[in-house]
Amino acid sequence: MSVAQLLVAATFVPLIGAVAGLTARWWRPSRDDRAAGFVACASLFASVGLSVAAAALWDGPEPVEGTWYEILSLPGVTLELGHLIDSLTLTMFCIVSLVASCVCVFALGYLSDELTEEHRDYHLAHVLEQELVRPGRFHLFFGYLCLFVTAMLLLVIGGNLFHVFVGWELVGACSYLLIGFYYERPYASAAATKAFVVNRIGDAGFLIGLAALLAANGDVRFLSLFEAAGAGELSRTALLVGGFGVLAGCVGKSAQFPLQVWLPDAMAGPTPVSALVHSATMVAGGVYLVGRMTPALPPEVLLTVAYLGCVTLVVGAVPALFQTDIKGILAYSSISQLGYMMLALGVTGWGAGLFHLVTHAFFKSLMFLCAGSVIVACHHEQDVRKLGGLMRKMPVTAGAMLVGVIAISGLAIPGVSVFGEALSFSGFHSKDAILSHALAFTEANAGHAALFWVPLVTAGLTALYMVRLWGLTFAGAPGSATKGAHESPAVMLAPIVVLAGLAAFCAVGGDGGPLYGFLTRTAPEPGAFELFVSPSEAAVDEAHHHAEVMGLIAAGLGAAAGLALFGPWRRAPGQARAEGLKDAAVVRWLRRGWGFDAVYRALAVRPTLMLGEATALTDRAAIDGLVDGAAGLTGVVARIERAVDERVVDGLVRGVGRTARGFGRLFGAVQSGGLRQYVAALAACAVGLAVLAVVLLAG
């Protein structure tokens, strides 16, 4: 099989798991849904094998392009489904399928309570005090999960913007099903709707951008767009409208400022969903598309990408410091890390941004699965203030979470190197690459210093809130919710251990290692722009050492502060002081994500609802009144018409009939049929005529 055939098979083989899950109650009348989960896992493992085989067979570095089906072919306009295969496509296939497989195996244990016909919803019972007993939905979860993975792979393999948009919308639809899996819970159904609506706002921009590029180029194949943009065949207006339009879609999908509000609420779904959505699939789609479109993006768009990423860094990191929900901390952390990726792409660090996308997929999915392990062990408790001391009860989970914390914090051991890079876990290498490109960019372009200093400071905040998470959950004295907690079963620990290994060692060698080398085999060349200067490789290499040292210092200071406040040796008064801030107004404001939801409710949601109510009132009072009035008038006219019809028209018709009938009766009386009467009548007529003649003659 060719590389293209292998990837097409890898894209659609998860549909076997999707069909098995969605139809399980038809082919498993015994209602034992475990088989649906096993089929789903097997289909995802097959996708992993096919993806890895394709990566091994690909000889590159030239991209492989192909057409599947032509949707529309008009003079000057072509829309089609097709593939584009290069090192980025292959890397994304391996990451998405591998992380999804680990999540699928973990879900076999996490969702085991859904294997019943009388599932009792814990959150409704204990949080909302509502009793709900329903049939388990174990099979549906795995059906939705495999459908979600297929949609993401369809997005990644797309060779043109139209194909990507098809996968893009399918990802959004599947995320709605997964986030709203517990749809009986009001906040879960609201979160699913919120994610769907916010993403549609960005997708409106995507459609505008797609239309602009299609109108300008007649074709939205990536290679065609890159060639036309490089040759100057596309107008500046088309590039700007198309670039900013596509960026709007990416801002929504990858939870960038100001459309980041949906991602924290997305944790309302099952924890395995959070592990997938926040790491390798949905939120990765926007970063992937910006990376894919980079050769066709004008400098204004790239600089906007950089500053949006810079703002998103802070918007995500600061609220994470004050979150009390274990999944909430990780959700805001995801927003911040996505900001790092966008910033790197904006400062022409294409390889660095996508390198961080890969490492983040591993350590963030790892941490979400560890959080799920804790949640199950602690009777679905998610408040870190009620946890603590779990390191002794859950050593494997605690150790794996620590690997993720070290990776995302960018910590390393100075002076010890492997392949020329400091001994550390994956996040250090990818974040170091981002800081190196940011520093080189700011040195080459005066006035953009914030693009380096903001991510540098945020690196310290990242270490602080992640150490806080680990300390409050696993260190210190046992919390009120940890009674009876124990380590998770092997089916949940196995994927955690696998992801811990990947989070630790996938980036060995940094930008000189095998992963970075494979990813950047088809990296686009930095363009020459008037708006800013793209730093050369030599400039990035020169900035590397300084960025590495400063990044390590920032992460070390943040980790030290976290250990001092939340480490295993913390004393109760210190902890009390830290938690004493929970009622401060500014803390509540930050805990709610800077209050963006309140602002959007005031500026957009409430006016929209008011407009809807006004429209409904107008409809009821005016339009319905007109319609009802017209109906009443029609009734009056109908009654008049009926009266005229019955009394005039029908009267005339009946009168003619009566007259005819009267004459008929009259002549019928004459026509008796008796011969004597006829002779007498003739005689009478003759006499009458004779008399008449005499009278006339006499006169």
Interacting residues of 571 by C-beta distance below 8 A, sequence separation 6+: none
Domain boundary pick from 594, 620, 637? 594
Domain boundary pick from 594, 626, 653? 594
For residue 85, tell me if it sits in a domain: no
552 and 430, same structural domain?
Answer: yes
What is the predicted pLDDT for the residue at 366? 98
| Dihedral sign for Cα atoms in the order 116, 122, 123, 124 | positive
520 and 619, same structural domain?
Answer: no
The DSSP letter of residue 164 is H
For residue 403, tell me if it sits in a domain: yes
What is the predicted pLDDT for the residue at 634? 87
Contact 481, 381 (CB under 8 A): yes
Contact 101, 483 (CB under 8 A): no
pLDDT in tens, 199-239: 999 999 999 999 999 999 999 999 999 999 999 999 999 99
What is the predicted pLDDT for the residue at 652? 84
- Residue 324 belongs to what H/E stretch? none
For residue 104, tell me if it sits in a domain: no
Interacting residues of 394 by C-beta distance below 8 A, sequence separation 6+: 373, 374, 377, 474, 485, 486, 487, 488
Q: What's the distance, CA 160 to chain centroid?
A: 20
For residue 268, tell me if it sits in a domain: no
590 and 605, same structural domain?
Answer: no
For residue 478, tell me if it sits in a domain: yes
What is the predicted pLDDT for the residue at 581? 45
What is the predicted pLDDT for the residue at 27? 67
680 and 578, same structural domain?
Answer: no
Contact 511, 411 (CB under 8 A): no
408 and 462, same structural domain?
Answer: yes
582 and 615, same structural domain?
Answer: no
Domain boundary pick from 546, 568, 594? 594
534 and 681, same structural domain?
Answer: no
What residues of the chain score a pLDDT lower than 50? 572-581
C-alpha–C-alpha distance, residues 101 and 112, integer Å:
17
For residue 438, tell me if it sits in a domain: yes
What is the predicted pLDDT for the residue at 658? 81
C-alpha–C-alpha distance, residues 495 and 107, integer Å:
10
Contact 355, 516 (CB under 8 A): yes
What is the predicted pLDDT for the residue at 699? 63
What is the predicted pLDDT for the residue at 28? 64
526 and 435, same structural domain?
Answer: yes
Q: Is 260 helix (H, G, I), strand (E, B) or coil?
A: coil
430 and 413, same structural domain?
Answer: yes
541 and 462, same structural domain?
Answer: yes
Q: Which domain holds residue 425?
A: 337-594
Tally the C-alpha atoms within 13 A of residue 692's C-alpha that lie toward its C-beta.
6
Q: Which residues are paired to 160 by β-bridges? A: 221
Neighbours of 535 (CB within 10 A): 25
Q: Is 559 helix (H, G, I), strand (E, B) or coil?
A: helix
621 and 518, same structural domain?
Answer: no
- Residue 177 belongs to what H/E stretch? helix 161-179
For residue 92, tell me if it sits in a domain: no
What is the predicted pLDDT for the residue at 410? 94
What the block records as the tokens of 213 is 């590029």
Q: Which residues are paired to 383 by β-bridges? A: 325
Total domains, the chain? 2
Contact 336, 427 (CB under 8 A): no
Contact 389, 476 (CB under 8 A): yes
For 488, phi and psi rounded to 5 degrees?
A: -70, 160
Interacting residues of 257 by C-beta distance below 8 A, sequence separation 6+: 251, 308, 311, 312, 315, 339
Interacting residues of 333 by C-beta distance below 8 A, sequence separation 6+: 316, 317, 320, 364, 408, 462, 465, 466
Q: Which residues are paired to 77 by β-bridges? A: 74
For residue 424, tell me if it sits in a domain: yes
466 and 364, same structural domain?
Answer: yes
